[in-house]
Homo-oligomer: A and B are copies of this chain.
């Protein structure tokens, strides 16, 4: 199956030489391992050779790749966290979900993949330049039909959408959104927030005590194992903290 013009390709030349690029036949691409020219009529799984003789593969990007390779204006969410959050939200194709703030659009892309063509992501970001970068990243991933962006601050203004399946909250003061999110969710809808500090978690728990049940906080750790014949061991350094995930379910007023 040939790669189409404008399609995203994960150009893989090893762990430290991998790039998410848009495919156009004849396009030149320079890496520290040499230059490649993208040929016409290639398929995913094919390989290329740089002018210096190094091999690169044309791979299909994973969802993690799409998220991790966005142009960043903020810290981004890690797949280890996003994967857990997705399953805790109970969303799938056709779901309608809220995202507050868009950040660099990494989670927006993951959510857009999850809700499919029939679903919708409503993504709110109060800093205009961040929103524009996120839109650009979502568009590059070819997912712009599934996302509606809002440049506003829902903590004060509330959300112009309702009856949503889940809300993903990644802002410095998630507790300010407990009321507006409660109004925007359908009964039983899920709150999913991510915060780096324990004090943010404590204040979020306090705010969710009214209108939500099933509050839970976890952290997810990812540890790589280097598997090499006779020399297998965990990698020596790792990301030891990104954030705490808080989940809860909306309940209806008595």
Contacts and interface: CB of A to CB of B under 8 A. Distances in A.
Interface stretch (A28-36, A84-92, A120-128, A132-140): A84-92
Interface in A47-63: 47, 57-63
Contact of A238 (B118, B237, B249): B237
A89 B110 CA distance: 12
Interface residues of A, number: 90
A90 to B, nearest CB: 4
Contacts of A223: 218-221, 240
A110 B46 CA distance: 30
Contact of A117 (B88, B93, B188, B213): B93
B63 A90 contact: yes
Nearest to A204: B227
Interface in A176-206: 186-190, 196-199, 201-202, 205
Nearest to A217: B225
Contact of A216 (B46, B61, B91, B224): B224
Q: Which of A58, A60, A165, A213 has the most CB of B within 10 A?
A: A60
A37 to B, nearest CB: 18
Interface of A is mostly: mixed
B60 A90 contact: yes
Contacts of A153: none
Given A43-B187, A60-B188, A92-B113, 11 more contacts: A1-B163, A45-B249, A57-B214, A63-B88, A79-B87, A83-B87, A196-B233, A197-B231, A202-B232, A219-B225, A221-B222
Interface of A: 1, 12, 43-47, 57-67, 79-80, 82-94, 110, 113-119, 163, 165, 186-190, 196-199, 201-202, 205, 213-227, 229-242, 244, 249-252, 254
